[in-house]
Each structure stands twice: as structure tokens, then as C-alpha cells.
Amino acid sequence: MTMTIDELLQTPYWIVDILPKQVPMESFGQYFAVKDYFLTKGQLLKIKQKHINLILKLNCYEDIRVDEESLPKLKPDQIAAEMRSRYLCILVRESLIVSEPDDTYLTVYNPDENLLELIKTLAASEGLFVWQPESDKE
């Protein structure tokens, strides 16, 4: 059974991020100031390239589809351009990866154990971390 994007958005999810874990609400650090720094154009472009690299590496191991449409397989430069320019739903098996051009993270919905392990390995190769939000832990 293939789940729709709307159904996948209701499943457990993990975050691929520049930070190793969720910042607690009561943190005394400068989370918002640091977040604003990483959202500057130069920093965000570097982070987005890491996201693109992760997805392209993932595509070496898994067939990925963009959105629910029957688009022909996109070439690596097309995937990169799409990820830089718009909200993108990347379907992998029964999982969904959401990429937004102005976010410092990716969201991975409904990964099975093998896919999650592969994503963690690929994320680490890009200096990124994978964690599950406290509110979504099983």
C-alpha cells in the first residue's frame, strides 16, 4: 500500500539538522541569534548544499521520486535546483523527506530502520545530525 504525502505527514518523523539534538525550551543559550546567523544567505547556501549532497548520495542507493506526480527521474543538477528553489517532497519507498529552501534542516517521515540508518550515515558524512523530536518519540 502506498501512502499519500498527506498520510506520510502524519507519521513519526526525524530531523536532519546542523545541531545534534533538539534545543530545550528552557535553554539559556542564544538559539534564536544563532539560528538567524545560519539563515543568512552565505551560511544557508552552505547548509543547503549539505542537504543536496545527502539526497544525491541517497539516490545512489534508493530510487527517489519528487512530489507525487509521475515526473521522469530528475538528474542530479535538476534535483539540486529544485531543492534550492522550492518546497520539495522527496519520496523514498514508503517514506517522505521534506526540504524547504530557507530551512537549516530536512524532515524525514516514516523511515524504516534500514533507511533511517542509511540517512544517519549519509548525514554524518556531511557534518549533519539526525534526531527525533521529544514530542514524536515512541
- Residue range of the domain that includes 118: 47-133
Question: Does the structure show a pLDDT above 80 at 129?
Answer: yes
Please write the tens of the pLDDT for every residue from 9-33: 999 999 999 999 999 888 888 999 9
Domain count within the chain: 1
Sequence-ordered alpha helix ranges (H) in 62-106: 76-85
Domain annotation covers residue 111: yes
**Element holding 95 (H helix, E strand):** strand 95-99
Domain annotation covers residue 1: no
- Using CA atoms of 41, 46, 50, 53 in order, give the dihedral in degrees to the nearest 10: 100
Question: Does the structure show a pLDDT above 70 at 136?
Answer: no
Domain annotation covers residue 6: no
- Report residue 86's pLDDT band, with 50, 70 and 90 as the boundaries: very high
Mean per-residue pLDDT for 41-48?
94
Q: What pTM did the predictor assign? A: 0.92
Please write the tens of the pLDDT for every residue from 45-65: 999 999 999 999 999 999 998
Domain annotation covers residue 22: no
pLDDT at 138: 56
Domain annotation covers residue 39: no
Domain annotation covers residue 103: yes
CB-based contacts of 107-113 (< 8 A; 24+ apart in sequence) = 107/13, 107/14, 107/15, 107/16, 108/13, 108/14, 108/15, 108/16, 109/8, 109/9, 109/11, 109/12, 109/13, 110/3, 110/8, 110/11, 110/12, 110/13, 111/14
Domain annotation covers residue 67: yes
